[in-house]
Amino acid sequence: MQQTKKNISKKIEHPDRITEYFKEEWAVLLAVTISGIIYNIGLLAGPWFEGKMTGCLVNILGGSETFADMLILAALYVISIAVVQISRYIKRFYVRRFSNNVNKNMKQILYGSLVHKSWAQLLEEGAGNVMTKAILDVDDCVEGMRKFTTEIFDTGIAMAAYMGMLLWYDWRLALLCMIFPPVSYYIAEKMKDIVQKTGAAYKVQAGILSEATLDRADNAVTYRVFGCESERRKSYEKNLSDYEKSAVLANIWNSSLQPIYRIISMAGVIFILYFGGKNVLGTGWREWSVAAFATFLACFTKLADKSSKAARLFNAVHKAQVSWKRIKPLMVIPKDDAPKSGQPAGCADALVSVPALAVNNISFAYPESKNIYSDISFNAKPGEIIGVTGPVACGKSTLGRTFLCEYPYDGSIRLSGRELKDMTASERTGLVGYLGHDPELFNDSIANNVMMGDKGDCRQYLKMVCIDEEVNAMEDGTDTLVGSGGVRLSGGQAQRLALARTLCHMKPVMVLDDPFSALDRKTEVQVFHNLRSMAQNNIVILISHRLYLFPQMSRIIWMDNGRAIAGTHEELMEQCPEYAELYLEQAGGGSNDK
C-alpha cells in the first residue's frame, strides 16, 4: 500500500488538479494525437472521393470518362478508407488506455485517501455514499475525460477541416448552413443545469440505496427476530423505486436530447439543397458541378454529425464536472501516511520511546451537542493500567475514542510532552492502539486476522487471550476462516481474537473498550493477568463495567454526569460512594462466578 502511494505521489504531485492526470498520460495522449490527426484529415478524403465518383458517373454517362477511371477512383477510395479506419482503431485503443490509466490512478488516490479518513468522517458521510463516490464518480469523471479527449482531439480537427472545405467551395452558403451547429451547442449549454441536477439526484439515490442494502445485510437477523422484515422490505422497495425513478430521469435528460441536437445541426441541409441546386444550375453564388454539390453536401452532413457529438461532449463534461466536484476534496495523497500495516509485532516500541501520559482538563462534545464530559485530568506511566468505569452512557467510550482524535477536544493530552492533537495521524497511530466494542474481524483466517500481514506465529497471542486450545480444536487450526465480521465465531471468541490482534500490535498507549465483556470471570482474570505481564512498558486504559479487577489497577477514573473522579481503588472506595456501592455489589455477586 505504501509502495503504491509512493508510486502515485511521485507521478502525480497535485491529485486535486485534473490537468495532472492528462500530464501524467502525455505519451498515450501523443499517440492519440498522431492517430487522431491522420484519422480526421483522412476523413476529408471520403466526401472528396464521393463527390469525384458522382462527377465521374455523370461524365461516364456523358461519355467523357470511362469505367476504368471509376475503378481507379473506387480503389483509391477503399485504400483511403482503410488508412482512416486503421488510424481510428489506433486512436481508440490509446484513448481507452488513457481512460483506464486515469481511472486506475484516480481510484488508487481516492481509496488511499478514504483509508486515511477518520471513523467519524466516514460515519458522517455514510459508507454507502463513500462507496458510490469511489465507484460512480471516478467512472463518470474519467468517462467525461475520455469523451473530452476523443471529441476535442478528433472532432475539433475534423470540424475545422470540414469547415475549411465548405468555405472553399462556397463561403456564403457555408456560413449560412454553419449557423445551425452552434445553435445546437447553445441549447446543449442551456440544458446543462437539468442534466447536472438529474445526474446528481441519481447519485444521491444510488448512495442511499447502497446504505440501505448494507443495512439490510447487516441487520437481517434483527429485523427477522423483531418481525419488522416486511416493514423494512417496504422501505427498501421505496428506496429501490426512488433509485429507479432518478436513474430513468437522469437517463432521459442525458440521452433523449441527442436526436434534438442532431436535427438542429442538420437543418442547414435545406439551404444546401436550395442554394447548392442554384449553384449547379448556374444561378447561385458560385458555379458548381454535380461533384462539387455532392462533396459540399457530404462535407456538411459529416460536419453536422461531428458537431452533434460535440454537443454531446458538453453533457459528458458537465457530468464529469459534477463528479469531479464531489471527489475533488478526497483527491489528496495523505502527507502522513500511516505506518505499514504489516509492522512487526511490538515494533512500535522500537519506533518511539514509551511516553508518559499527562491528561489535563480535557472536555469533549460531539459536533453540535453539549459536553459529554468536562475537566478530566490524570497521569500515567508505562506499566500502569488505568481503569475507566461509570454508569451506562456516561461517556466512557467517548473518553477512550478521544485518544484517536476523531473530533477535537478541549484541554490537553500529552505523550512525552507532546500534544496528541498536534501530532500527525501517522505519529498517533504509532503511539495509540485502540480496541473498540466491535471486534471488526474480516473474512480471512484466524492467523491473518491476528497478524494483519505481519510475519510471525500468531499462537503466542492466541495463548495470551486463552483461545489457543479452542483454535487447535478447530479443523483448520489457525487457518480457520472466521467469516465476514467473524460470524463463524462465538461472541467471546471474536472478542478474544480482536484482543489477540491488539496485543500482537502493542502500542505505547493502549485503549481497550470493554475487552472482556463477553468472557467468563475465570477467563477474564487469566487474560487480564497476561495483559499485565505483556504491558509492562505500556500504558493501558481499560474501560469496563465490571469492577472486580479494578483493585489491581494503578488508577481508576469514575465518570458520572459529565464529571470524573480519578484516584486509586482505595481512594475511590473512600471518596466516591457510587463507585464503592457498585464495586461491593459486584464483588459480592461476582464471586458466584468463580
Ligand X SMILES: Nc1ncnc2c1ncn2[C@@H]1O[C@H](COP(=O)(O)OP(=O)(O)OP(=O)(O)O)[C@@H](O)[C@H]1O
**Minimum CB–partner distance for residue 525 and ligand X (Å):** 22
What contacts 24+ positions apart, CB below 8 Å, involve 377-382?
377/411, 377/566, 378/555, 378/557, 378/566, 380/356, 380/539, 380/541, 380/554, 380/555, 381/356, 381/357, 381/539, 382/354, 382/356, 382/508, 382/536, 382/537, 382/538, 382/539
> 10 Å Cβ neighbour count for 466?
20
**Cβ-Cβ contacts under 8 Å for 301 (sequence gap 6 or more):** 266, 269
User: 61 vs 392, which CB is nearer to ligand X?
Assistant: 392
CA distance 486 to 488: 5
Residue 370 interacts with ligand X (CB under 6 A)? Answer: no
**Beta bridge partners of residue 435, listed in sequence order:** 512
Count interface residues toward ligand X (CB under 6 A).
10
| Contact range with ligand X by CB under 6 A, out of 214-222, 268-276, 349-357, 386-394 | 386-394
Residue 372 interacts with ligand X (CB under 6 A)? Answer: yes
Q: CA-based diameter of the chain, in Å?
A: 123
Residue 138 interacts with ligand X (CB under 6 A)? Answer: no
> 10 Å Cβ neighbour count for 545?
14
Q: Report the run of H or E that residue 51 belongs to, with start and end.
A: helix 45-62
Q: Which of 5, 88, 312, 396 binds ligand X (CB under 6 A)?
A: 396
**Minimum CB–partner distance for residue 390 and ligand X (Å):** 6
| Contact range with ligand X by CB under 6 A, out of 7-15, 349-357, 366-374, 449-457 | 366-374
User: 205 vs 544, which CB is nearer to ligand X?
Assistant: 544
Residue 368 interacts with ligand X (CB under 6 A)? Answer: no
Q: Which of 61, 68, 217, 393 binds ligand X (CB under 6 A)?
A: 393
Residue 366 interacts with ligand X (CB under 6 A)? Answer: yes
Sheet containing strand 539-543, strands side by side: 432-435, 509-513, 539-543, 385-389, 555-560, 563-567
Q: Report the run of H or E that residue 359 belongs to, with start and end.
A: strand 357-365
User: 89 vs 366, which CB is nearer to ligand X?
Assistant: 366
**Minimum CB–partner distance for residue 564 and ligand X (Å):** 11
Q: Which of 392, 455, 469, 592 binds ligand X (CB under 6 A)?
A: 392
User: 300 vs 373, which CB is nearer to ligand X?
Assistant: 373
CA distance 501 to 172: 79
**Minimum CB–partner distance for residue 324 and ligand X (Å):** 30
User: 372 vs 519, which CB is nearer to ligand X?
Assistant: 372
CA distance 11 to 580: 62
**Minimum CB–partner distance for residue 561 and ligand X (Å):** 11
Q: Which of 3, 19, 230, 369 binds ligand X (CB under 6 A)?
A: 369
Residue with cell 467473524: 486
**Beta bridge partners of residue 415, listed in sequence order:** 357, 418
Three cell numbers written together for 478: 489457525
Q: Which of 142, 206, 394, 465 binds ligand X (CB under 6 A)?
A: 394
Q: Which of 9, 379, 397, 460 binds ligand X (CB under 6 A)?
A: 397
Residue with cell 497521569: 379
Residue 395 interacts with ligand X (CB under 6 A)? Answer: yes
Q: Report the run of H or E that residue 92 belongs to, with start and end.
A: helix 67-115
**Minimum CB–partner distance for residue 152 and ligand X (Å):** 47
Residue with cell 476523531: 406
**Minimum CB–partner distance for residue 411 and ligand X (Å):** 17
Residue 119 interacts with ligand X (CB under 6 A)? Answer: no
**Minimum CB–partner distance for residue 406 and ligand X (Å):** 9
User: 96 vs 545, which CB is nearer to ligand X?
Assistant: 545
| Contact range with ligand X by CB under 6 A, out of 164-172, 311-319, 393-401, 488-496 | 393-401
| Contact range with ligand X by CB under 6 A, out of 184-192, 258-266, 396-404, 450-458 | 396-404
SS3 292: helix
Residue 374 interacts with ligand X (CB under 6 A)? Answer: no
Residues within the interface to ligand X (CB under 6 A):
366, 369, 372, 392-398
